[in-house]
Structure 1
Amino acid sequence: MRRFIAVVVISSLFTTIGFAQEFRGLDKSPLDRVYLPDHFAHDIKFAPERNLPDSPALRIDYSRPQKNGRQVFGDMVQYNEIWRLGANEATEIKVYKDVEIDGKLLRKGTYSMYAIPTKEQWTIIFNTAIDHWGHYSYDVNNDVLRISAHVLKNQQPVEEFSIQFDDLEKGVGVMYIAWDMERVELTISY
């Protein structure tokens, strides 16, 4: 009996050691997902009065770095250089049906999104290469659309990098991309 108990105790120690996996800490830039129409995933179920279509026009997945008292543009995010629009993996947009962004066609598909910010305008880039970390594998030959957007100043700093939508009317919305004191706006028709 003692031998049986000793075997059970030793076995449980090895099992505990085997499962004592240490997980890395949480990412400091949490992932977010936004839809157009705004709040689509929630409202399709809980706000039927909105009369939403069966699928969204598009969805964006991105990581949200934080300002944390730092200078963002011209420092953390360099002017005139490619930027992943967020942190970690390149921002990804899934377009469920053809849309027009500021009057330019973006076909149904999945794309990465990048930007080249300057003090006066950002060039927003839609690129066919997906599942990349940051902008390190960015290849201009995979660009399908580039849009210039004038920089607007926020009244208050935006602490966490953010992408949001606002529904203007049925089939038209605005994408806001903002961080710190800067933002750009793109009109999307779907």
Structure 2
Amino acid sequence: MKKTTYISALALIMALVFSIETQAQKFSKLDASPLDIAYLRASRNEKPTAKVIYSRPQLKGRSLEKLAPKGKVWRTGANEAAEIKFYKDVNFGGKPVKTGTYSLFTIPGDKEWTIILSNDTDVWGAYNYKDSNDVIRVKAPVQKGESVEAFSIAFDAGKMFLAWDTVRVAVPVK
């Protein structure tokens, strides 16, 4: 009888310990604008030339202009400003850029977008954006395409593509 009571008490204590331990951990829910990464590589087996880390907001019935207002500096995604890292010196939109990490901002427009690389890294949004920290600005024409629900960045054929809704913008990267 004593042995059964001891085992039952031990089982109860263990159950309490494990339930308290699992209850103690608090994890964030899935972000509404998940983080993503896009790489520029000559091939899968080669080191990357560039990497962009950004969050992917979704339209969810809202207009692109409401989420990325025309004529205003935008963080190029959601949450923290997008970050672009160049693993070697590159030509970005026809302008030289040194190896390093930069924030990627944009100014959306009807016919073209201004793409901005800034030294102001690790910032939330574009709320404290300062043009004095710009490294370069390049213009990229707007193209139209099939609608894309979630903001997307991809590299292909020596270009960085930005796509959202029916807007497509491409910047050459060499």
The answer to whether the superposition gives a TM-score over 0.5 is yes
1:25-174 mapped onto 2 (5 Å cutoff): 25-37=29-41, 40=43, 43-44=44-45, 54-73=46-65, 75-154=66-145, 156-167=146-157, 173-174=158-159
Letter in 1 for 2:150: E
TM-score (structure 2 length as normaliser): 0.87
The Cα shift of 1:4 comes to: 7.3
Identity, in percent, stands at 44
Distance in 2 between residues matched to 1:19 and 1:63, nearest whole Å: 29
The Cα shift of 1:36 comes to: 1.2
Number of corresponding residues: 170
The Cα shift of 1:22 comes to: 3.8
Counterpart for residue 13 of structure 1: 16
Counterpart for residue 50 of structure 1: none
The Cα shift of 1:159 comes to: 1.4
Deviations 1:131-167 (A, max 9, x none): 222112322222111111121122x111111111112
TM-score (structure 1 length as normaliser): 0.81
On the 8 A contact 2:41/2:47 being kept in 1, the answer is: no
On the 8 A contact 2:153/2:163 being kept in 1, the answer is: yes
Distance in 1 between residues matched to 2:8 and 2:128, nearest whole Å: 57
The ranges of structure 1 where at least 4 consecutive aligned residues each deviate by more than 4 angstroms after the TM superposition are none
Distance in 2 between residues matched to 1:15 and 1:123, nearest whole Å: 54
Distance in 1 between residues matched to 2:14 and 2:147, nearest whole Å: 56
Letter in 1 for 2:136: L
The Cα shift of 1:9 comes to: 2.0
- Three-state SS of the structure 2 residue aligned to 1:151 is strand
